[in-house]
Amino acid sequence: MQPRRQHVLLLWLLFYSSMAEALEPISTTIAVGMAAALTGILARYQNIFYYFHECCRPEWISFNITRLKTDLDNKLFGQHIASRIILKAVNGFMSNPNPKKPLVLSLHGWTGTGKNFVSQLIAESVYAEGMHSRFVHVFTSTLHFPHAEHMATYKSQLQQWVRGNVTNCERSMFIFDEMDKMHPGLIDSIKPYLDYYDKLDGVSYRKSIFIFLSNAGGDGIIQTALEFWKAGKNREEIELKDLETTLSLSVFNNNKSGFFHTSLIDKNLVDFFVPFLPLEYQHVVQCAMAEMKARSLEPNPDVADQVARDLVYFPKSERVFSVKGCKTIESKLDFYT
């Protein structure tokens, strides 16, 4: 059966091509030429399309370690632990062509210490469009999941969103802001996606990045930072091991952390707990200087000093750490310049 069919096909081809050549040699050539040209135009058009329209391709999504490193070194102040972990974690994950699970980071710390800021730096080092990328998704508990009584709906909605978005692009990034205001249990609904699975329903989540932001555990970090300060030790001497265990434990046992008794921690699905230290006077000055530079003003140390001096610091007696971190610098600066 098979050889005979091949013979017939060959004969037919021979016949057809000779006929075509005999009948209309010119138009055949033209047709072939046009087809080739069209293919070329289509290919080029596709490239132009990729060029102007963000899509899930290396032109738009590729990790630039130089960018992340210089940004962390130059723009993030007073977070030596976070800076080091983030660079290692993201670089290790992005340079692995075949990760076993998605990257899951949980950033913890006092308000205004740079958690959202760092997630922005990560997004900018991976996506050409940064936070504006179609593949970066931010979920804010108080905005997307405000009512405890709708938990069942939120759970299925969140699963659908994550699944839909990863189906579109496996290099997706999900940022969960205000985790401490998230109903405990909601985050468990995406647990399967964070686990060591090859594929779930035909979708692989292993190249996605999940980042959780919360103030939970911030008190413990402050405690440690204060102990170091009181012992006259350098802030840079604080190491991850001084903080990490207490951090994951306190977050797990805190019913207001969004991670209360969650299987994410039970099952070690969070790759890194990243502590953000409370910021000191000198860091607030740096933030103010950076903000002036960002507004293309001449950075003025006197103004920066004044901004920093007018902030509130704690503990009351020693006045070591800024209560709002660097958070209100932007609006304060309007007042002084």
Ligand X SMILES: Nc1ncnc2c1ncn2[C@@H]1O[C@H](COP(=O)(O)OP(=O)(O)OP(=O)(O)O)[C@@H](O)[C@H]1O
SS (H, E, C) 213-241: EECCCHHHHHHHHHHHHHCCCCHHHCCHH
Interface pick for ligand X out of 64, 91, 111, 246 (rule CB under 6 A):
111
Length of the chain: 337
Pick one of ligand NAG, Mg ion, ligand X, none as the site partner of residue 159 (Cβ within 5 to 8 A by kind): none
Q: Which residues are annotated as a binding site for ATP?
A: 109-116
* Residue (146 or 315) nearer to ligand NAG, CB: 146
Q: Which stretch binds ligand X (CB under 6 A): 30-38, 40-48, 261-269, 321-329?
A: 321-329
* Residue (115 or 183) nearer to ligand X, CB: 115
In the complex, residue closest to ligand X by CB: 114
CB of 255 to ligand NAG, least distance (A): 4
Q: Report CA torsion sign: 46, 49, 51, 53.
A: negative
Q: Which of 110, 117, 119 is nearest to 137 (CA)?
A: 119
* Residue (76 or 222) nearer to ligand X, CB: 76
Pick one of Mg ion, ligand X, ligand NAG, none as the site partner of residue 301 (Cβ within 5 to 8 A by kind): none
Task: Report the C-alpha gap between 275 and 80 in whole angstroms.
Answer: 10
* Residue (106 or 193) nearer to Mg ion, CB: 106
DSSP H or E run through 273: strand 272-276
Verify binding: residue 67, ligand NAG, rule CB under 6 A.
yes
Interface pick for Mg ion out of 91, 116, 120, 167 (rule CB under 5 A):
116
Q: In 18-41, which positions are buried (b, 16+ CB within 10 angstroms) versus exposed (e)?
A: eeeeeeeeeeeeeeeeeeeeeeee
Pick one of ligand X, ligand NAG, Mg ion, none as the site partner of residue 215 (Cβ within 5 to 8 A by kind): ligand X
Contact 128, 60 (CB under 8 A): yes
By CB under 6 A, the residues from 187 to 216 that bind ligand X are 215
Task: Report the C-alpha gap between 18 and 218 in whole angstroms.
Answer: 82
By CB under 6 A, the residues from 195 to 234 that bind ligand NAG are none
* Residue (123 or 287) nearer to ligand X, CB: 287
Helix (H, G, I), strand (E, B) or coil at 4: helix
By CB under 6 A, the residues from 137 to 196 that bind ligand NAG are 137, 160-161, 164-165, 168
* Residue (112 or 195) nearer to ligand X, CB: 112
Q: What is the DSSP letter of 112?
A: T
Interface pick for ligand X out of 116, 204, 224, 300 (rule CB under 6 A):
116
Neighbours of 296 (CB within 10 A): 6
CB of 287 to Mg ion, least distance (A): 15
Q: Which of 119, 124, 80 is nearest to 276 (CA)?
A: 80
Amino acid symbol at 106 = S
Interface pick for ligand X out of 243, 251, 303, 326 (rule CB under 6 A):
326
Distance from the Cα of residue 234 to its chain's centroid: 30
Verify binding: residue 140, Mg ion, rule CB under 5 A.
no
* Residue (108 or 207) nearer to ligand X, CB: 108
Neighbours of 270 (CB within 10 A): 19
Neighbours of 168 (CB within 10 A): 12
Helix (H, G, I), strand (E, B) or coil at 155: helix
Residues that bind Mg ion in the complex, under the rule CB under 5 A: 116
Residues that bind ligand X in the complex, under the rule CB under 6 A: 75-79, 111-117, 215, 279, 287, 325-327
Residues that bind ligand NAG in the complex, under the rule CB under 6 A: 64, 66-67, 70, 137, 160-161, 164-165, 168, 255
